[in-house]
Structure 1
Amino acid sequence: MKRIKFFFILLCVPLMLSAQAFLPDSMVVCTDEDKAIFDDYVQKFLPCRDSSMNWLMLHTGFYFLGTPYVSYTLEVTDTEKLIVNLRQLDCTTFTETCLALARTIKNDCGPTFDAYICELTKIRYRYGLLEDYTSRLHYFTDWIHNNNDMDIVRDLTVELGGIPYPMYVNTMTRLRNKYVHLKDNDDFCARIDTIEKEISAREHFYIPKNRIDSVGVKEGDIVAMTISGKGLDIMHMGIAVIKEDRLYFMHASSVGKEVMITLVPFYDYLCGIKSCTGCMVLRPLPPEE
């Protein structure tokens, strides 16, 4: 199975490179303000390009502290396009944005806006191919699976002592009427149903929340919170922060309405959410040289 997957990725690489190099402007949605934020970020972080990916991920998160939380920012077009929004973030787009920007800074060809577009496309879409709504990595365990395969992140959950995470996903098809791109599109719904079955059939692992302080999470790691039942896989995600030798959590908060760091250690934050069972841990990786 691993050999089949390896050859599939090899077959996808030329298509990915083509898609990245020739993604037309009509497929990208952004504003002048987004480009200005990108330019400001590059000016501040280019001198730090030799720093580790974890350092860049962490400090990129710091850069966005106070940015307003806004949900559904990727659902603003009738057909699927690459949405670039550095002005407003939710928990997923915050994580993706920080990872894409950190990798762009380390791009050997220079941290251009086009390079950022390429990185964001690789991260957000299955094997970097923006085809339609179903090619987006909607479920975060699918996001992890894909980005781990692509050497964009490294899933450390098992290495850090993770245990089996029995789960299934069906939220998108079960609640299709709440998804504007699914409710009237039987073809998309059928494809998402197939994807949900593939995700549910995979082996998953998680770190129980009562062990999170002892497993060696590093600053700048991505942490994704697991949930008990409900047809979901991950309920929230963000970036690990260490303060006074305790693990904290930087995230785009729907409660705080902005990007912020938890006021309490991550363990206490997790314990305050009854449905949360623990988390998965991912390490950001630099682009291949």
Structure 2
Amino acid sequence: MMLASRTDGPGEVGAVAGDPEPTERDDDADAGCRVLRRARVIHRRLAVLCVCGLVACGGDSQGSSESERSNGSSTVSEPAASPPSSPSVTDGNAGSLAGDPGPGPTTLPGTDADWALVAEKVLWAVDQGYAELDIGDLIARIGETFVGTPYAPYTLEAPGDEALVIELEELDCVTFVENVLALARFVHMAPDNLTTTARPRSSDDQRAGNRGAGNGSDANTGDPQRALFSGILQDIRYRGGVLGEYPSRLHYFSEWISDNDGMGLMRDLSRELGGVVDDEPIDFMTTHSDAYRQLGEDPSFLTELQQVEARLNAEPRYFVPEDRIASVAEQIQDGDIIAATSTVEGLDIAHTGIALWRNGRLHLLHAPLVDGVVGISEVPLAERILRMGGQDGVMVARPTKVR
């Protein structure tokens, strides 16, 4: 497989085929956490091109005992309140040295433990008074409570028909962003009776509520807290908020951003940050259809995704090249969504995370493959992207206030 190049005027911005091996390697062998999570064979090919996570990227997921709140171009350091405990790391979640992202989740979706985490984190945010924060600051604070949560690929690839998956015990880079955004919106949207009393239910109540829940969706359980969270997450994860068949999921993260922008859930800042047009065509899923179970099971899904790709390729999308990130960093705020653009041919996004200011520098709060747990980048975002083979810039989106 060849690495696609991007150009901005006369100068090369991204990596090109034949470049020497970089000193730092991409920590997301699944190349987008969503689009490549079924492509084990493709991962091994990418490993040869230094896109796979064969070694840890400088220990790039170290946490900290302090939280930083963005205040214009400066940051205010304050002690972090004790967050809800995150699950412990389990063996086998960091991926293999062959570039394979690992065996997949070790926990089932939609369990008592997942819903207990929803209730626990909502209650913690409310108890800390964080419900009064702006949406970006709230996202950053909730996101930090997931530090140490295990990474797992394939978390949305449940057997059977497409269904809303609720999984918070293990996360990939996309589901981490989705769940944190959904939790923050829940805290701002929910009436008091669903937040101030959002205590984990008894085992008997949980078992009753789980009956008929399918792959983690609780639309039919009659539990208003679960129904509201499920609805928020569905709006974020599916095109137009409508859960249909497999193609209705927002597989390409650049479309995830544009769709959520269109839904009024966030605003794409990439162009106004001085972004340039990314003119590389998107077609990875349909040109590697044998890597996706659902595309093999129903040929009509392939046709639908080809139509999605054609529509995406007909619309301009903007990204901030890697050599310009440092110059616009002060315009990025806590809680902004960061999507690292990919140099892999046919693929738009390689990795995702949440912007987080620490000690006056912009870092990335994310779920990386190699480190195996949610963490905070050891180096600032701009430096991190420059180090990464297979990444050549970022898209940036700012979640909007809940109306």
TM class, shorter-length:
0.7 to 0.9
Please tell me the residue identity of whatever aligns with 1:158: R
Post-superposition shift, 1:98? 0.6
Q: Give deviations 1:139-194, integer Å, cap 9, x for gaps.
A: 00111111000111111111111111112111111111110101231111110111
Q: Is 1:286 aligned to residue 401 of structure 2?
A: yes
Q: Is 1:240 aligned to residue 359 of structure 2?
A: no
Q: Is 1:185 aligned to residue 265 of structure 2?
A: no
TM-score by length of 1: 0.87
The counterpart of 1:266, out of the listed 381, 384, 393, is 381
Query: Given that residues 213 and 246 in structure 1 are in contact (C-alpha distance below 8 angstroms), is that contact kept between their aligned partners in structure 2?
Result: no
Post-superposition shift, 1:108? 4.5
Query: Given that residues 350 and 390 in structure 2 are in contact (C-alpha distance below 8 angstroms), is that contact kept between their aligned partners in structure 1?
Result: no
**What pairs up with 1:1-289 in 2 under 5 angstroms?**
30-46=110-126, 47-109=129-191, 110-111=194-195, 112-215=225-328, 216-288=331-403
Q: Give deviations 1:62-83, integer Å, cap 9, x for gaps.
A: 0111000000110012100000
Post-superposition shift, 1:261? 0.7
Moved over 6 A (4+): none
> Which secondary structure does the structure 2 equivalent of 1:159 belong to?
coil
Query: Given that residues 295 and 301 in structure 2 are in contact (C-alpha distance below 8 angstroms), is that contact kept between their aligned partners in structure 1?
Result: yes
Greater fraction helix: 1
Q: Give deviations 1:191-223, integer Å, cap 9, x for gaps.
A: 011101111111011111111122111111111
C-alpha separation in 2, matches of 1:38 and 1:197:
37
Query: Given that residues 167 and 229 in structure 1 are in contact (C-alpha distance below 8 angstroms), is that contact kept between their aligned partners in structure 2?
Result: no
Post-superposition shift, 1:263? 1.1
Post-superposition shift, 1:229? 4.4
TM-score by length of 2: 0.63
C-alpha separation in 2, matches of 1:151 and 1:271:
31
RMSD across aligned positions (CA): 1.2
Query: Structure 2 stretches of 5 or more lacking a match?
Result: 1-108, 196-224
C-alpha separation in 1, matches of 2:344 and 2:310:
15
C-alpha separation in 1, matches of 2:287 and 2:324:
33
Percent of matched pairs sharing the same residue: 36
Query: Structure 1 stretches of 5 or more lacking a match?
Result: 1-28
Query: Given that residues 148 and 154 in structure 1 are in contact (C-alpha distance below 8 angstroms), is that contact kept between their aligned partners in structure 2?
Result: yes
> Which secondary structure does the structure 2 equivalent of 1:181 belong to?
helix
Please tell me the residue identity of whatever aligns with 1:183: G
